[in-house]
Structure 1
Amino acid sequence: MKIAVISPLFSRSAQLMKELTSFFPDVKHNADNTLKTKADIIAFLHDIDIAIVGREEIDDEILSACPKLKMLSRYGVGLDNLDLEAMKQRGVELGWTGGTNSNSVAEITLSLMLSLIRNLHIATTLLKQHIWKVNGGSELTGKTIGLFGFGHIAKRVVELLAPFHCTILVCNRTHNEEEALKYGITYASKERILEEADIISIHLPLTPESKNLFSTSEFKAMKKSAFIINTARGGIIDEEALKTALKTGEIAGAGLEAFLEEPTHDWELIDLPNLVCTPHLGGNSKESILAMGYSCIEHLKTFCAKK
């Protein structure tokens, strides 16, 4: 079996590469992050049987140009970058385990909530400009939190919020009353959450239904004192509408982990003082990097054991 690692993050981890090569000695990797185009990826994979893929988009064009490819092991949790239907039609198996980075992303979500509601980001920025302005914001304790999506990450967010005694409203496609009792949540409509939530946190995949789910009308429906956080995927928030909402005070602030284009170059958005932003590092803790990587390796071992 010829194996390749497309993901630069996996490729640069000495610990993961050591573990992988202990089972599969001959492995191509992408530590230098040289795969910039679809043609680069095709050239890299054309004679490969199994690949570990990160956020790189793998579509039918790539799959058709790499007929030897029989399995993709996803390094990460989202699957929106993979053409799952094309994989199925071409007999390419998927190795994937959900929730491997849920704690890492949930911690970033909680940190964004605290940074926004306690005014930490703005106060820090002003102080670094030698401006002493005391504004401690509001306490997170007792606030109403609206969650869109209720998968592994959202559930972990609820667990981390437990000491803050928040009211948790959840908008989700399916309702599981046993889970509602277990986590102390209330299922609610999109409209109710927009009206009542002090903080909205997005935990959805990017799909045609979720694209631009939050745009001008949604921001107008939110409290002016409310915040919105996206640690999921870029494109779920309409970034142009968000810029307007932040500039005009339609909402109080936002926390973004994910952007429509990554790396983003929308400096007009990034420079807004009431935006807290990170370069999509939520699932990038040391612990998460290893957990996702070991999961990938296990999927490879399982696949090869069947052959």
Structure 2
Amino acid sequence: MREPSRRVVVTQRFFDDASVAILESAGCEVVLAELPPGQADGGLSQGELVDLLQGAGGWIVGHARVTRELLSDLPGLLAISRRGVGYERVDLAAARDLGRVVTIAAGGNEASVADQAIGMMLAVGRRFREAQGQMIGGSWSILMGTDLYRRTVGVVGLGRIGRSVVQRLRGFEAEILVATSRPDPAYAAAAGVRFVELPALLRESDYVTLHAPLTPETRHLIDADSIAAMRPGAFVINTARGGLVSDTDLLAALKTGRLGGAGLDVFESESDPSLKPVTDELIALPNVVAAPHAGASTREGLERTNMIAAQCVVDVFEGRDPPPECVVADGRPGRGRR
């Protein structure tokens, strides 16, 4: 196998000097893509990506689609390192077939996303946005909010971020219900959580917070039927993936008052532009607190994920195995084609 090019293209913003230094100390040429203001790499066409990545052996990527066609057009691209933990936009089978390595920045952003999820619970429960809007309009009348303290919170998914959310919720003395495909009795005893099936979680929870990957099985986990099963006035928090929620059904439930509010960092329109009008309606509602997929975007969180992403590229270039929790596909000979 010939030595890969040590040219590394970064198509993510906020890539810090310390992470550049990790790459440069390994003999890499680092190219920081200059994207137009407001443009993310997820909006780049395959042709634009091919132009950016010509001659690169490594790519530190955000939300761009990594397709078989793209990889075929870039035969020298060996390491694809996501500065994040989702990989539903990457064709893993193609990466394995074509001998590439795909990594994620596991362990870098869970604290930042968990903080945001808790912040959104507090914001929608205490109606911060509504209260400030009234004050700006000249009214200082008090709006009645809802505690997070000792409420029932349903956590859907128990990966690194889900567990970080559980850890924080314990400080609020919340009753914590968890729905996961892999219940762990020892963890339940240690963390003081109760594992339940999703229908029971929806039925019993005051807040439902989503921390599951987006798969065909989890798409539209929250839809009209599941919302109908929830407590009237409950809150939905989604800092995971937009497709977990039917935004159209969520909008209807919020407009009718069936749900009390929502905290949303992700939207279906990120992958389906036809749903942009639904997103626009959601973020205009006074009982919705929204962010532009920014849960991991703290200075500290990005520094951590940048460094993990950079080190994974270096490991691949040096012929080493990146940390196993970071590897989602490895098509190199002798690696078991994970």
SS at match of 2:70: helix
Distance in 2 between residues matched to 1:131 and 1:19, nearest whole Å: 53
Alignment partner, residue 235 of structure 2 = 227
User: Which protein has greater RCO, CA pairs closer than 8 Å, 6+ apart?
Assistant: 2
Equivalent of residue 161 in structure 2, options 126, 136, 153: 153
The answer on whether the counterparts of 1:146 and 1:170 sit within 8 Å (CA) in structure 2 is yes
The answer on whether the counterparts of 1:155 and 1:183 sit within 8 Å (CA) in structure 2 is no
Identity of aligned residues (%): 31
Q: How does 1:253-268 map onto structure 2 within 5 Å?
A: 253-262=261-270, 266-268=279-281
Distance in 2 between residues matched to 1:130 and 1:38, nearest whole Å: 50
- Residue 71 of structure 1: how far off its partner (Å): 1.5
- Residue 25 of structure 1: how far off its partner (Å): 4.5
- Of residues 176-185 and 15-24 in structure 1, the stretch that sits farther from structure 2 once superposed is 15-24
The answer on whether the counterparts of 1:96 and 1:296 sit within 8 Å (CA) in structure 2 is yes
Q: How does 1:75-90 map onto structure 2 within 5 Å?
A: 75-90=83-98
Distance in 1 between residues matched to 2:100 and 2:150, nearest whole Å: 48
- Structure 2 residue runs without a partner (length 5+): 321-338
The answer on whether the counterparts of 1:146 and 1:201 sit within 8 Å (CA) in structure 2 is yes
The answer on whether the counterparts of 1:170 and 1:188 sit within 8 Å (CA) in structure 2 is yes
State the AA in 1 paired with 2:187: E
Whether 2:102 is the aligned partner of 1:94: answer: yes
Equivalent of residue 20 in structure 1, options 14, 18, 23: 23
Equivalent of residue 67 in structure 1, options 75, 92, 96: 75
Equivalent of residue 149 in structure 2, options 141, 147, 154: 141
Equivalent of residue 288 in structure 1, options 281, 301, 307: 301
The answer on whether the counterparts of 1:46 and 1:65 sit within 8 Å (CA) in structure 2 is no
Alignment partner, residue 113 of structure 1 = 121
Distance in 1 between residues matched to 2:291 and 2:104, nearest whole Å: 25
SS at match of 1:73: strand
Whether 2:9 is the aligned partner of 1:5: answer: yes
TM-score (norm 1): 0.94
Equivalent of residue 29 in structure 1, options 13, 20, 32: 32
Distance in 1 between residues matched to 2:76 and 2:14, nearest whole Å: 22
SS at match of 1:4: strand
SS at match of 2:236: strand
- Residue 20 of structure 1: how far off its partner (Å): 2.9
State the AA in 1 paired with 2:34: A
State the AA in 1 paired with 2:66: I
State the AA in 1 paired with 2:19: L
- Residue 16 of structure 1: how far off its partner (Å): 3.0
State the AA in 2 paired with 1:4: V
SS at match of 2:243: coil
Distance in 1 between residues matched to 2:136 and 2:220, nearest whole Å: 34
RMSD: 1.8
Equivalent of residue 290 in structure 2, options 266, 272, 277: 277
Distance in 2 between residues matched to 1:178 and 1:92, nearest whole Å: 37
CA separation of 1:24 and 1:129: change in aligned 2, threshold 3 A: farther
TM-score (norm 2): 0.86
SS at match of 1:40: helix
Equivalent of residue 301 in structure 1, options 308, 314, 320: 314
State the AA in 2 paired with 1:274: N
The answer on whether the counterparts of 2:7 and 2:28 sit within 8 Å (CA) in structure 1 is no
Runs of 4+ in 1 over 6 A off after TM superposition: none
State the AA in 1 paired with 2:252: T
Distance in 1 between residues matched to 2:230 and 2:104, nearest whole Å: 36
- Residue 37 of structure 1: how far off its partner (Å): 1.2
The answer on whether the counterparts of 2:82 and 2:102 sit within 8 Å (CA) in structure 1 is yes
How many residues were matched structurally?
306
The answer on whether the counterparts of 1:7 and 1:75 sit within 8 Å (CA) in structure 2 is no
Alignment partner, residue 332 of structure 2 = none
- Residue 231 of structure 1: how far off its partner (Å): 0.3
Distance in 1 between residues matched to 2:311 and 2:29, nearest whole Å: 17
SS at match of 2:177: strand
Distance in 2 between residues matched to 1:210 and 1:67, nearest whole Å: 33
SS at match of 1:235: helix
The answer on whether the counterparts of 2:239 and 2:266 sit within 8 Å (CA) in structure 1 is yes
Q: How does 1:32-51 map onto structure 2 within 5 Å?
A: 32-33=35-36, 36-51=44-59
- Structure 1 residue runs without a partner (length 5+): none
Distance in 2 between residues matched to 1:57 and 1:125, nearest whole Å: 38
The answer on whether the counterparts of 1:120 and 1:136 sit within 8 Å (CA) in structure 2 is no
